[in-house]
Amino acid sequence: MEYRFSTNVANLKSSAVRDILKLTQGQDMISFAGGLPAEELFPVQAVREAADRVFSAGTGALQYGLTEGFHPLREQLCGRMAAKGMKVAPEEMILTTGSQQAIDLLIGVLTEPGDTVLVEKPTYLASLQVFALHGLKVVAADSDEFGMIPEAAEELIKQHGPKLMYAVPTFGNPTGRVWSEERRKRMLELCKQNGMLVIEDDPYGDIKFEQGEHYSTLFSLAGGAQDNPVIYTSTFSKTVAPALRTGWAIGDSRVIRMMAKAKQAADLHSSTMDQQILSQLLSGFDLDAHISVISKEYGDRMREMHGLLMQKGLPDMSWLKPKGGMFLWVELPEGLDAEALLRCAVGKGVAFVPGVSFYANEPKRNTARLNFTHNKGARTIQGVERFVEAIGEFTVRS
């Protein structure tokens, strides 16, 4: 039997992170590859107690639910969004199976095949997969430590007329960068001037290492939900646990209604059980205190990895010390191909993600993303030693 797959799916590149994770299974492998939270910090007891309360109330959590999501949880999230300066009502929110589904639904309802999307260079690799699956053209604007460079973006907007912009302005994946307030306002202004919508992806914004820091969301800078050009997405995956597959999107109610229509065709609704557990968790557990705990711990782990790399003093290797999030973005010595380096590193028992996967075009092949949240102590020390050893050996071979 010959199976004729759609062109978009057949041409879709597999996730580099997922492929690398397969290599690490069942081996003495230290992985800096996946964006994995630390399991030992999951609020297991609180989740267990929340689940007990859900099932003590009856069997409703096992029944079909609303496409838009469990209403009490949406109300609770509206309160959490208000604390970030984003005033929304439940009808201006939809719960999704992780924020990844929110991005997919938004692209499905806001674009047509052949449309152009503007992204930062580099950007989140799974978003690039979504854009490819929907047949979009992607143009990438140069960025620096302060975020997307407006002049570069403006030139691309003039040349290609993008339908929308996708951005992770706070602790971006893969770079860990934070857009400056000035850049946020300027890019928002550019999008408004050119009639472009914005998907603001914010899975890491709560994980900040300096608690006094404040980063305005693009959504809040643009005003209320109605007529807002920004649709904001986030998730519980990084702050509670990935397995509770619950993300959300907020925006103009017209956009949310269209997302709900598309979601009905995709999966009817996301897990009602997960949503009710999360609702009970928010009612009986101090999530903000928990986020403070994991933020402090992840900050310590970042500084540990940063310090180890500094100690090695490798020439011609640089990185930005992140203020939050889960990743260090490393520029390796010029001419060193990170994909080739990965093969050497895996042989030594350490994995990372080559940076090429995060570029829509013209990739910098001497870049790599390192996750610092999943390991600590001896494993981080040994992993960095193996990584540096691979660089040294590979450099000699080259």
Pair (257, 194) in one structural domain: yes
Where residue 3 falls among pLDDT bands split at 50, 70, 90? confident
Give residues with Cβ within 8 angstroms of 276, minimum separation 6. Answer: 54, 60, 61, 70, 73
Query: Crossing angle, helix 98-110 and helix 253-266, to 10 degrees?
Result: 110
Does the structure show a pLDDT above 70 at 398? no
Q: Is residue 52 part of a domain?
A: no
Which residue carries 């993300």 as its tokens?
Answer: 247
Q: Count structural domains, the chain.
A: 2
pLDDT attached to residue 16: 57
Separation between Cα atoms, residue 338 and residue 317, nearest integer Å? 12
What average pLDDT does this structure show over 54-70?
95
pLDDT attached to residue 15: 58
Does the structure show a pLDDT above 70 at 260? yes
What average pLDDT does this structure show over 157-175?
98
Q: Is residue 322 part of a domain?
A: yes
Q: Is residue 50 part of a domain?
A: no
Q: Is residue 42 part of a domain?
A: no
Pair (241, 349) in one structural domain: no
Domain-ending residue, one of 284, 317, 351:
284
Query: Which is more confident, 392 or 166?
Result: 166
Does the structure show a pLDDT above 60 at 256? yes
What torsion do the CA atoms of 309, 310, 314, 320 make, to the nearest 10 degrees?
80
Domain-ending residue, one of 284, 315, 337:
284
Q: Is residue 45 part of a domain?
A: no
Question: What b/e readout covers 273-285, taking b as 16+ CB neighbours within 10 angstroms?
Answer: bbbbbbbbbbeeb
Pick from 2-11, 233-242, 340-349: least confident: 2-11
pLDDT attached to residue 212: 85
Is the C-alpha dihedral spanning 103, 108, 114, 117 positive or negative?
Answer: negative
**CATH number of the domain enclosing 94:** 3.40.640.10
Pair (254, 326) in one structural domain: no
Where residue 198 falls among pLDDT bands split at 50, 70, 90? very high
Cis peptide, bond prior to residue 122, ω within 30 of zero:
yes
Pair (204, 96) in one structural domain: yes
Q: Which domain holds residue 187?
A: 58-284
- The answer to whether the CB of 161 falls within 8 A of the CB of 394 is no
Q: Is residue 53 part of a domain?
A: no
Pair (80, 106) in one structural domain: yes
On average, the pLDDT of the chain sits at: 94
Give pLDDT tens digits for 210-232.
988 899 999 999 999 999 999 99
Domain-ending residue, one of 268, 284, 300:
284
Pair (294, 269) in one structural domain: no
Percent of the chain with pLDDT over 70: 95
Which tokens go with 61?
């959590």
- The answer to whether the CB of 99 falls within 8 A of the CB of 201 is yes
Nearest to 60 by CA among 247, 279, 286: 279
pLDDT attached to residue 21: 58
